[in-house]
Amino acid sequence: MAATRADYEEIGRHYTAVRQPEPAIAAALWQALGDARTVVNVGAGTGSYEPTDREVVAVEPADAMVARRPPGAAPVVRAEAEALPFADDSFDAALAVFSDHHWRDRSQGLREMRRVARRRVVLFNVDPVMTLRFWLTADYLPDLAELVPEWFRRPDAWAEQLTSLLGPIRLVPVPIPHDCRDGFYAAYWRRPAAYLDPQARAAISVFHRLDAGHVERGVARLGADLRSGAWRARHGDLLERETLDVGCRVVIAALES
């Protein structure tokens, strides 16, 4: 995504109400971390996907997110991804979940993750091309494309950039269940009425980064299409599916020891 940053002091006020850990994502991340015993979670937020069976240090700059971390969560270091306050090779693994597209300098943040990790870097995010193809973007929020740099809209550009910064990577698709508990942008792929809920939108960074008028018009069109049956006519096949590939990928970079 583009460098424009969402305000997580604002988003944090709504976050925990609808952004709960999704077991399918948590399981994929746990597997990706492999035998790593020490993990730094960069852009940790409320700590939704921090493994409880490993030694974790969280990095999070936003007060609102830190305040909403549960009792007993991993200790937090207040820092930015672009300047991690750790020595080289400090952790077995560096982890970032739905985080790297918000950093001021994404390339520098990824280089920092590689610097402080001994064994692997693990990311979880959505392929930007898949986000642009998602029905909510294509039908109702086309201006979202302006948040994605033009060169990033080319298939495989995301993977190529990651490889250039992290070395060889493996991309693991994570299909998202229809009742996903983590209300990120594409989580409601089979529950379109959820996007009409202001609280659900308030916990999704895209809606903070888009022009408010564009969002209002798009949501109004979606509401009208749900009432008229037009949405079902176009996308009714989704109602028969249990999971969908919305572009979520675990990125695993195994580092040389």
Domain 8-254 is found in CATH 3.30.70.1450? no
pLDDT digits over 134-187, tens only? 999 999 999 999 988 887 788 889 999 999 999 999 999 999 999 999 999 999
The pLDDT assigned to 207 comes to 94
pLDDT digits over 70-128, tens only? 888 999 999 999 999 999 999 999 999 999 988 999 999 999 999 999 999 999 999 99
Of 215 and 4, which is predicted with more confidence? 215
HEC states along the chain? CCCCCCCHHHHHHHHHHHECCCHHHHHHHHHHHCCCCEEEEECCCCCCCCCCCCEEEEECCCHHHHHCCCCCCCCEECCCHHHCCCCCCCEEEEEEECCHHHCCCHHHHHHHHHHHEEEEEEEEEECHHHHHHCHHHHHHCHHHHHHCCHHHHCCCHHHHHHHHHHCCCEEEECCEECCCCECCCCCCCCCHHHHHCHHHHHCCHHHHHCCHHHHHHHHHHHHHHHHHCHHHHHHHHHHHCCEECCCEEEEEEECCC
